[in-house]
Structure 1
Amino acid sequence: MPPSGDQSPPTTAVPEPIHGDVLEAVLSHLPLIQLVPKSLVSKSFHKAVTSTLSKPSKPQPWLILHTQTSRPPYVTSTSAYDPPSRRWIHIHQPPIAYVAPLRSSQSNLLYMISPSKFSFSFDPLHLTWHHVAPPSVWRTDPIVAVVGRHVIVAGGACDFEHDPLAVEIYDVSLRAWTKPEPMPEAFTGAASMTWHSVASDDRRMFVLEKNNGVLHTFDPVTNTWCGPYDLRHDSLVFQSCIGFCYNRLILIGLLGLPDDVIGVKVFEVSCESFTVREITEMPLDLVEKLKGDELQVSSVEVRMAGNVVYIYKPVLPEEVIVCEFVNGGECNWWGVSNVVASDRGIAERFVFTCSNVGIDELRRATRVDRRFRFALGI
């Protein structure tokens, strides 16, 4: 029988929409790539996403791994480690036009150099590539760095007819090469990237000889080399490398011997006096992870951006160690299993970069080329 009187059927309660601080708290737990579509839901979501990303803890620098096959057509694939979610992200992007083996000498620089072309990119997600004429001196393993609008290519000459200490600078604004004075004589016999670690700020390139801890600086505006500066603060350090983190020059030192690494220390270097101050030391269990099955670490590489330092072995880096600076001085340490390198093996080239990637960079990537896609991996 139909209901009598003014009885009406029961209604389903509509949940109250989430706004303000509660919405921000929910969004703060999402990985960066999931915030991009959320920002398009409504004005309130866009405002909440923007507010979430403006907080000091977000976004954090991505460690981006570029793998290049060793055979034609030299296909390059890209993955990134996202610190907030502690997961790898698969990045589907347009292929990189092959010029030569892919390389990186500092945190956000990718480049390829051949006798006919010099290609480089230094934006966070490497959306823009510059393809220019090569330096006049042919080099196999040069020291390369970006300082402002200048791309510096130093040393690494392979022809006895050329000065092995030659320096050339490409001005991105003027689209022209200049050839200043060569490197100091102290670089004779070791003027290549193999023996050095490179970092740069807005004014200078910093070049550290890994094995003896000696540092030189170069100003591309005044074409001035300064140094040497001895950064051997601890007698146990046998190999070291540098980078910039939180606008501070950071030095990572391996302690002991290549077949008996007993520790890894982190130092801060003054860019004015070049004095060295110890900050922290890697926990011993992570030192063992860094060693891996080979139980030997002859050298490490570092990539830094924002408040995060990534440390790894340059050959088959199956484990990456992360040092995150928090609360002005404290450090959080953890290890990251490099599932990409583990799956690919030694047949491919592994190149790391590190950049602060925010929602604006992700939006631009998908806007510039619709082939860009991001997906959470393992």
Structure 2
Amino acid sequence: MSEPFSSLTSDMTELILSHLPVPSLLRASAVCKHWHALISSPTFPPLHPDHHRRPWFFLHGLHNISPKNNQSFAFDPSSDSWFSLLPPSAHDFSGTAGFLFSTAPSFSFSPLLINPRWLPTSPLHYSRINPLLGVFFSRASSSPTKPSFIIVGGVRFIGGLVDIEDRLAVEIYDPCTDSWDLAPPLPADFRSGNSSQTLSSALFDGRFFVFGIYSFFVSSFDLGTRVWSQVQTLRPPGVLFAFLIACQELLVLAGMCNGPRGPSFTIWRVDEKSMEFSEITIMPQDLLYGLVDYEEDDKFASLKCVGTGSLLYVFNEEYHKKYPACVCEIGKGGDSSKCSWRRVPPLASTVNKFHKVISFCSTVSQRNIFGDEDYGINSMM
């Protein structure tokens, strides 16, 4: 450490470090034991609000034959940079709202840490893989500051075969009692595809919305009454596939279209009560074609979209272009004049080819990265 910094008091050093974004904090924490102790302390000042509001994009690649080829990456929009993470030990997992989740062979979760520390819960009533997951805070809970989890859909193996006809009940986890409550399953309209591979979801205004990426069916589960709404169809003209996302105070639909002007990736604002929609923004053509290979017949089929807060990330989950991505920042209130698109910098040249890609979007803070005894696993139960 240089002489000027070594002469500063701990309080002054902490104040200077608190202005750094998370990637810089990661590097700073490796400088010396003193800096690491300051940054990882539960009393370290929280990051600037801008860093909390700008969600990160996480990309996890799984290799079926050689787990040593698994890789995990995170993109920080504030610094416009990627950095590598240690791949989670679980094979089937997902993430949202600052947590990682694994449902196989049993349900466990971890705060979104560089080194995940998995905490198992009591067993699910119905074991499942690839379900939809949500995190919410219940005012009715005896401890409203502890998050509850909701699990919807998913598939399970029976006799070594996947049973896609079994409508698994909704399960809601109470962290105070370490127990799972059962609720009605997804409506029967979703029977033919009930995993996160064919459905998208959004927690919005006290309801858990489920949307068919290809079927365009939509229904919402009221977290208070625990009742599903009537199934409706949400399909703008020309849309081929789409994803439903909670974005700031908006419910938005983002999807690939074929229209009079040719292919486009469009974002619509959705009225959560009437399911009526209105266009917000269209991805610039140069960004759209930068995500795909011109020579492929079905070039847009591998595009995916995740998002939260004010950001939506669109990416290609195929390897041929090393998983390119772009990001859209939604203007407040869905103001189309204030929406902006930009390309996400490419991943490093040492990206492996994966059999499966897991992606999600989540806000982070230094307590997610370094851990916090008052927030982390020890305080959950």
TM-score by length of 1: 0.72
Distance 2:133 2:89 in 1: 20
Counterpart in the other structure of 2:242:
240
Which stretch of the first structure deviates more once superposed, 352-361 or 203-212? 352-361
Structure 1 position 142 matched with structure 2 position 142: no
- Measured at CA, do residues 88 and 285 of structure 1 come closer, stay the same or move farther in structure 2, by a change above 3 Å? same
Mapping for residues 1-378 of structure 1, pairs under 5 Å: 31-34=21-24, 37=28, 54=48, 56=50, 60-71=54-65, 77-91=71-85, 96-98=88-90, 101-104=91-94, 110-114=100-104, 116-121=105-110, 123=112, 127=116, 129-148=118-137, 149-159=148-158, 164-173=166-175, 174-201=177-204, 203-232=206-235, 234-256=236-258, 262-292=263-293, 295=296, 296-316=299-319, 318-326=323-331, 329=335, 330-340=338-348, 343-347=350-354, 349-362=356-369, 364=371
Number of aligned pairs? 332
Which stretch of the first structure deviates more once superposed, 242-251 or 139-148? 139-148
Counterpart in the other structure of 1:5:
none
| CA radius of gyration, larger in | 1
Q: What secondary structure sits across from 1:224 in the alignment?
A: coil
Kept in 1: contact 2:164–2:192 (CA 8 A): no
Unaligned runs of 5+ in 1: 1-13, 15-25, 42-48, 370-378
Kept in 2: contact 1:63–1:355 (CA 8 A): yes
Distance 2:330 2:313 in 1: 12
> How far is 1:301 from its partner?
2.3
Kept in 2: contact 1:302–1:312 (CA 8 A): yes
Distance 2:231 2:303 in 1: 22
Distance 1:188 1:58 in 2: 37
Kept in 1: contact 2:284–2:341 (CA 8 A): yes
C-alpha RMSD over aligned residues: 4.1
Distance 2:375 2:95 in 1: 26
- Measured at CA, do residues 221 and 256 of structure 1 come closer, stay the same or move farther in structure 2, by a change above 3 Å? same
Distance 1:76 1:64 in 2: 14
Counterpart in the other structure of 2:12:
none
Kept in 2: contact 1:155–1:183 (CA 8 A): no
> How far is 1:245 from its partner?
1.5
Distance 2:191 2:369 in 1: 44
Instruction: State the Cα deviation string for residues 289-340 of structure 1 (Å, max 9, x = none).
Output: 1223554111532221221111113333621110013466311111124415
- Measured at CA, do residues 327 and 214 of structure 1 come closer, stay the same or move farther in structure 2, by a change above 3 Å? closer
Kept in 1: contact 2:92–2:130 (CA 8 A): no
Unaligned runs of 5+ in 2: 5-15, 30-34, 37-43, 138-147, 377-381
Which stretch of the first structure deviates more once superposed, 210-219 or 156-165? 156-165
Distance 1:34 1:286 in 2: 28
Counterpart in the other structure of 2:379:
none
Kept in 1: contact 2:58–2:359 (CA 8 A): yes
Aligned AA (2:265): V
Aligned AA (1:288): Y
- Measured at CA, do residues 122 and 57 of structure 1 come closer, stay the same or move farther in structure 2, by a change above 3 Å? closer
> How far is 1:56 from its partner?
4.6
TM-score by length of 2: 0.71
Kept in 2: contact 1:150–1:171 (CA 8 A): yes
Distance 1:366 1:87 in 2: 28
- Measured at CA, do residues 68 and 347 of structure 1 come closer, stay the same or move farther in structure 2, by a change above 3 Å? closer
Q: What secondary structure sits across from 2:293 in the alignment?
A: helix
Kept in 2: contact 1:201–1:244 (CA 8 A): yes
Kept in 2: contact 1:197–1:241 (CA 8 A): yes
- Measured at CA, do residues 151 and 275 of structure 1 come closer, stay the same or move farther in structure 2, by a change above 3 Å? same
Distance 1:237 1:225 in 2: 25
- Measured at CA, do residues 288 and 300 of structure 1 come closer, stay the same or move farther in structure 2, by a change above 3 Å? same
Kept in 1: contact 2:133–2:151 (CA 8 A): yes
Kept in 2: contact 1:217–1:225 (CA 8 A): yes
Aligned AA (1:79): F
